Chains A and B, each alone.
Chain A
Amino acid sequence: MKKDKKQYWKGVEQLTNHPEFVKFASREFPQELPIEDGKLKEDGGSTRRDFLKLMGFSLAAASLAACEAPVRKAIPYLNKPEEIDPGIPNYYASTYTNGGNYASIVVKTREGRPIKIEPNKLSNVTGSGTSVQVEASVLSLYDKARLTGPYINGSAVEWKELDSQVKTKLESIVSGGGQIRIVSKTILSPSTKAAIDKFIERYPGTDLVMYDPISAYGMVKANERSFGRAVIPTYHFDRANIVVSFGADFLGTWINPIRYSADFIKNRKLENGKKTMSRLYQFEANLSLTGANADYRAPIKPSAEGLAVTTLYNLLASKAGKPALATSPVKADHLDKAANDLWANRGRSLVVSGSNDPNVQVVVNAINDLLQNIGSTIDLKSPVYFRQGDDEKMRQFVSDLGAGKIQGVIFMNCNPVYDYYQGEKIKAALEKINLKVSLCEREDETATSTDYVAATHHYLESWGDANPSEGEYSLQQPAISPLFNTRQAEVSLLTWAGNNNVDYYEFVKNYWKEHFFSTQNKESDFTRFFDKCLFDGVYSLNPMAVTMEMITFGGDVNAAASSISKTYSANSNAVELALYETIALGDGTHANNPWLQETPDPITKACWDNYLTISQTMANELGVELIESDTYLLDLKVGDKTYTLPAIVQPGQARGTVGLAVGYGRTKAGRVGNNIGVNAFPLISKKNGLPLMNVTDGVTVTMTNKPAKVAQTQTHHTFMNREFVVQETTLDTYKNHPEHAFHRPAIAVSTGLEKKLGDQKIDGRVPPREITLWKGHSYDNHHWAMTIDMNACIGCAACTVACQAENNVPVVGKKEVINRREMAWIRIDRYYSSEKGATSNKELEKAAENPEVTFQPMMCQHCNNAPCETVCPVAATTHSTEGLNQMAYNRCIGTRYCANNCPYKVRRFNWFKYHDNSKFADNTSMNNDLGKMVLNPDVTVRSRGVMEKCSFCVQRIQYGKLEAKKKGRRPIDGEITPACASACPTDAITFGDIKDPESKVVSVLQLKDRGDKQEIHEHRAYHVLEEINVRPNIWYLAKVRNKEENA
């Protein structure tokens, strides 16, 4: 066959096997191609293939170039995730924790982005509302200062690399018998503790050290000494008729303010005919939020605090016929009265102290024991776990660290270099430590002192759980997949403990299976049980059979008292420094959050700054005046440290004391929070070995004569006795003559009009609402209205931040706040009383030295005769058919006439372009792609030159109406809640439809609709500035103080 096969020659050369032929035989083309290394040969010209090649290249190049055009970030859900509908929010129950600060929350997500935190109403612990910090925490998720991955010595690495290095070091420490410490703030999560246990199991020689920047360890110690239980009890402020607090700011910052404020206000609301309320006495140095809400407040110096407590004990002991303590009495206003009230309300009273001195707390316990409050208002059997820090252990750790007894340190979600009073010592000692690891969200002061930085998730990206108080549990679930290459702290610990591919979700789930599944019998399937808990966010153990064991006071009150006598003095002349946490910044963890920085302090109304609060007496001595944000810098000298700070003249500040907030002076928080104020944590003093939030000696304050400006959102502090702005009365007056307790404006009218009005007139005068030029609006469907109970509002500002998050309210920065241009849609006006008997304007303009304080949340009043609506030349602000005063942003041309004509001054103008403007980089939610993820897509971001204001959260109203419509019914009262009302921990704000007779607003106002006329029967209800007859849709319920008439 082979032989028969014909052979065809390509040419003679093949036949002859010419060398030329052999050379090219294996090639495809006998001739050399004219292309050499992609370049055209000079002589070759271009061929068809070249043409094709070039064409192909240019086509590819052109299309590649086209790919470099801006990449559209909105990706259509071609495969729509099952639970996400564009435009429809999803809600996930979760848990907010920051050390021992806790809130059970519901996270609102839109298209997979968390945009708003709401309270989890199912929670028994914090179900009533949120706080400023909780509301703002969602913005911290989108913080550019967050770490984007693990670092070793400042350079980014892979997790593998970090893990192997850390593991090797841990191994070598353990094999050498070395000591390892995990340092953390209070850990509320049982599963985290389990993870740490696993770590300790793997690396013996490891110990967990917990601390709290603001410690309550003294209380724990005292309770151990008094009752044999080293716990913080549950306080039932709602059961107490008389509350006496020595420096405990339980409405603002102390332990669990969300719950305490709700409980406290429960007993002060005057609803449904209830005419009793609790009475609060506050003894403190700085004017705290709690002090501002007190019925009786006496300023005392920190050096006298212990003696004030013993004096109260002695006053009560004499009534009880018990021996008095041998201490010198201290004179403080209202102390006798407090003792009488307490004695009269035995078993229904409560005495608390914010001191970290166990001796003081032991005497406080003894007082509560005298008053039979243990077991009634103080529940030691179900303690709370918000503060688990052990000051002694932490101190030991610091000294061990310095002494080189510790080889490895892991800082877990904490920043002790900044927020522990011996932070400098820790920083210095760390230099010699072999293994130092930070598990943290950002490169903070502590992280920069460590070698290994294992970047952690934000809490909204994490799995977890919490056990805030006995029998109460909650779950934390991620609301977004991690934005960065971060890993939650527990996973790092478990990985280092030798587990591979840790799934922390499984870990938590297993933990719950082991520990909680068996505690219930409703669900037989664990998955169902867990899903239910996850859905609810919370899980409460069935209250265990009440142990009959009585808890009795067994503390040595005499020993405590004698110790107090030694360390406190009744009349110290020294200047004393009282440190405090602000409501907004707290311990400073969230200092890089611009929402918090711009939240005005409820008391001073200042933001973006750290300042010294000084009493009016000291201001006179130093020559400081605070006029329209203009003040002076003061030098504060404590020991060998000197700080220069602006002064705020603070009515109510105890004479001879100055107040300074911790939480400022961050240097590594991020661009927003860095270098604002000074770090006051190192000023925390020690008494009996425990850190105390005050310095009683060695403090001097001197005037520098250098002018300074503080950014205050309110610069006039008294209400000038304008009764139509602030109405208040005392409980006795309200009880006895509710109809005459308040001012009711009336206008004298002509006889003709008098006849026409018939029965409306009182002594020939009529209420202003009876006389009007306008025809009024008719509301056929809904008529939205709101009531604000000034007796319930404690001024905590949670509503302000909630509104900011909900309505995309920009942050304007310190300079613009000084220019009086903050944008808040809801502000809380804080008024001080003037001295009693003040009549002239000059006297009225000055606040009393120890004033009464009133908080008045102020936002658009949605007037039915709105002065803003008539003056807008382009009808950009109009009245809706449901009673809302609404803004059409894109119609607004910015004449600001409406704002000028607004008697409440609630309209806010966009003086600049606050979004996408490098001059307002602090407004992080509108100036970078990451920050913008927090914006609420339902609310327009307003452009420059446009007026804006409270809309009653019209987007929520609309959503609620649509949801109801889908179900073919009217919205049910309570379905629609604006952000402010939802955040309010004390339920001071009620929103609803006054056309709906079942609504809560109607019942609060006791509103009777008589066809053409609405009658309000609640005596406390009034309109601010009623006599100008703009007919707001917001009613205020006047404040009632539980105070004697002439006190």
Chain B
Amino acid sequence: MEVVSPIRNPLVTGAKTVGDVTQDICVRVEAKPPKTWFMALAVSLSVLAVGTYTLFFTLWEGIGVWGLNKTVGWAWDITNFVWWVGIGHAGTLISAILLLFRQKWRMSINRAAEAMTIFAVICAAFFPLIHMGRLWLGAYWVLPLPNTFGSLWVNFNSPLLWDVFAITTYFTVSLVFWYIGLIPDFATIRDRAKNKVSAAIYGALSFGWTGGARDWSRYESVALILAGLATPLVLSVHTIVSFDFATSVIPGWHTTIFPPYFVSGAVFSGFAMVLTLMLITRKVYKLEDYITIQHIEYMNIIIIVTGSIVGIAYLTELFMAWYSGVPYEQYAFLNRATGPYAWAYWIMMTCNVISPQLFWFKKIRTSLIATFVLSIVVNIGMWFERFVIIVTSLHRDFLPSSWAMFYPTFYDIGDYLFTIGFFFTAFFLFAKFFPVINMAEVKSIIKSSSTSAKAEK
């Protein structure tokens, strides 16, 4: 059915056969993990332990342990939230939008990218929860639940409520999409399982997959429907997150440019995070044949594009501040660039606008080390972008009497570490127990591209 141009470079190198794919991927689940995996997990767990302590203390004492104050009501909490949601964009973008665009190169990276999305969204969802003064009530009061309190209902005007819907929807769809994709691979592992326990577990996880034509047909329909559903969500989640700011009256927040600016920023940081993780996984699991330099180059090109959109958005904001003639707006942006948080602004500018431009050079774009370093730089930059938007806008708004500074405390940092620890722990466990590459899909591109590779020989 599908026609693949023979001119194109093969997407999977190393003359892999279908059997090789099964063997290469399943062995990671079946065999004892390498030492490096244990080391990585140990580091993640220790970060998680520190984070768990600070988190416990935060919940016990109240969020007063953070550095927030009467003027700056959000800082690291919401910065981290937006940052993680942004990171959580890449997976679904790769698997849904690229699926619709028939970009076959996505096949070897979508599984891990989706897993990353799920974990990132969990990390993200975590901050709106703990940033609440009364988590034990807020966790369910924000949901429009029927209740016995009379006409007590949520406020549908509030962008925070939209966030609740946007994120839960996105999370649900992403999770289902990811899981559906996993079913045939779970079945493969089940069939190969040598001990009863894993046979039982993977058997349960594979939902009685038989591999028959009917299964495959349904599988593909569901994948396509979910891709269709997930595509608008990729755009809507960060659009709605940006509404938290855009619908407010605070200078620096009150901006109509935010939705596209946030979405491209999210894709930008999401791809950077995918790169960071994939480069490590590729190395540790020796998946060079599946995740090739070509994959990395493609992703770097997306980073240039989205990074440039973000850069233009920054400049547009500055222009609008000047052009609007609103003194508060003008001061807000002047204060960003020259005020007490100017250092954060210039870190953001350097990391997000200047550094991705280096990918115009093919040499840098195809260098593993440069890509790895820049992918981390981009995520630092994107964290600062959110910090700059949130903190520098709040700390000096309308009335100079209320101007204040925000200084993070140990607990601000610790609670961030908690999510980082959680994210990596979850990712490493995923890498051990789940097939990191979508075997079923990769096999579909081997037929054509690998045979042609063979033919070249």
Contact = CB atoms under 8 A, between A and B. Distances in A.
Interface of A: 628, 714-720, 722, 725, 816, 819-822, 827, 829-831, 841, 856, 858, 867, 870-875, 891-897, 899-901, 903-905, 907-913, 943-947, 1024-1025, 1028, 1030
B89 interface: no
A719 B400 CA distance: 6
Given A901-B248, A903-B397, 9 more contacts: A827-B401, A873-B155, A874-B155, A893-B142, A894-B138, A910-B62, A944-B134, A945-B135, A946-B134
B154 interface: yes
A945 B69 contact: no
B405 A829 contact: no
A725 B70 contact: no
Contact of B248 (A628, A867, A874, A905): A867
Contacts of B62: 910-913, 944-945
B249 A905 contact: no
B69 A820 contact: yes
Contact of A905 (B70, B132, B153, B157): B70
B249 A901 contact: yes
Nearest to A947: B133
Interface stretch (B4-12, B158-166, B172-180): B158-166
B138 A720 contact: no
B231 to A, nearest CB: 27
A897 B133 contact: no
14 contacts: A714-B402, A827-B401, A831-B400, A831-B401, A871-B160, A872-B160, A893-B134, A894-B138, A896-B74, A899-B70, A909-B133, A910-B133, A944-B133, A1025-B398
Contacts of A892: 133-134
Interface of B: 61-64, 67-71, 73-74, 128, 131-135, 137-138, 141-142, 152-155, 157-161, 164, 244, 247-250, 327-328, 331, 334-335, 338, 394, 396-405
Contacts of A871: 157-160, 247-248
Given A871-B159, A873-B154, A911-B64, A821 B132 contact: no
A719 B132 CA distance: 32
A722 B399 CA distance: 9
A896 B130 CA distance: 12
B235 to A, nearest CB: 22
A870 B398 contact: no
Contacts of B157: 870-871
B71 A894 contact: no
A717 B403 CA distance: 9
B433 to A, nearest CB: 36
Contacts of B155: 870, 872-875
A820 B134 contact: no
Interface of B (DSSP majority class): loop
A900 B74 contact: yes
Nearest to B77: A896
Contacts of A893: 132-135, 137-138, 141-142
A339 B128 CA distance: 65
B71 A905 contact: yes
Nearest to A856: B401
B426 to A, nearest CB: 26
A563 B248 CA distance: 66
Contacts of A903: 249-250, 397-399
Nearest to B134: A945
For the complex of A and B, the 7 pairs showing the least CB-CB separation, nearest first, are A894-B133, A945-B133, A911-B64, A893-B138, A820-B69, A829-B401, A896-B73
Contacts of B134: 892-894, 943-946
Contacts of B152: 875, 891
Contacts of B141: 874, 891, 893
B213 to A, nearest CB: 48
Contacts of B63: 894, 911, 945
B70 A718 contact: no
Contacts of B397: 903, 905
Contacts of B338: 841
Nearest to A723: B327
A1028 B71 contact: no
Chain A, interface SS category? loop
Contacts of A822: 70
A725 B400 contact: yes
Nearest to B334: A841
A913 B64 CA distance: 9
A829 B133 contact: no
A627 to B, nearest CB: 9
A871 B403 CA distance: 22
A715 B64 contact: no
Contacts of B250: 900-901, 903
B73 A909 contact: yes
A448 B71 CA distance: 45
A1025 B138 CA distance: 32
Nearest to B128: A895
B140 to A, nearest CB: 10
Contacts of A910: 62, 133
Contacts of B401: 714, 716, 719, 827, 829-831, 856, 858
A900 B128 CA distance: 15
A463 to B, nearest CB: 44
Contacts of B135: 893, 945
Contacts of B64: 816, 821, 911-912
A51 B142 CA distance: 63
B136 to A, nearest CB: 9
Nearest to A899: B73
Greatest chain B CB density within 10 A among A867, A895, A909 is at A895
A119 to B, nearest CB: 27
A725 B69 contact: no
B331 A874 contact: no
Identify the interface centre among B132, B394, B400, B403: most chain A CB within 10 Å of its CB: B400
Contacts of A901: 248-250
Contact of A821 (B69, B74, B161, B394): B69
Contacts of A944: 62, 133-134
A946 B68 CA distance: 14
A628 B133 contact: no
Nearest to B131: A895
B133 to A, nearest CB: 2
A875 B405 CA distance: 29
A687 B247 CA distance: 65
Contacts of B164: 873
Contacts of B160: 871-873, 895, 897
A943 B158 CA distance: 23
Contact of B158 (A717, A897, A904, A947): A897
A560 to B, nearest CB: 45
Contacts of B68: 896, 909, 911
Nearest to A870: B157
Identify which of A715, A816, A827, A858 gathers the most chain B CB atoms within 10 Å of its CB: A715
A904 B161 contact: no
B249 A1028 contact: yes
A293 to B, nearest CB: 18
A924 B95 CA distance: 60
Contact of A718 (B132, B327, B396, B400): B400
Nearest to B398: A903
Given A820-B71, A945-B62, A900 B403 contact: no
A841 B331 contact: yes
A263 B37 CA distance: 81
A715 B74 contact: no
Contacts of A867: 248-249
B161 to A, nearest CB: 4
A944 B328 CA distance: 33
B254 to A, nearest CB: 9
Contacts of A829: 399, 401
A876 to B, nearest CB: 8
Nearest to A830: B401
A907 B134 CA distance: 17
A897 B71 CA distance: 11
A895 B152 CA distance: 18
B400 A716 contact: yes
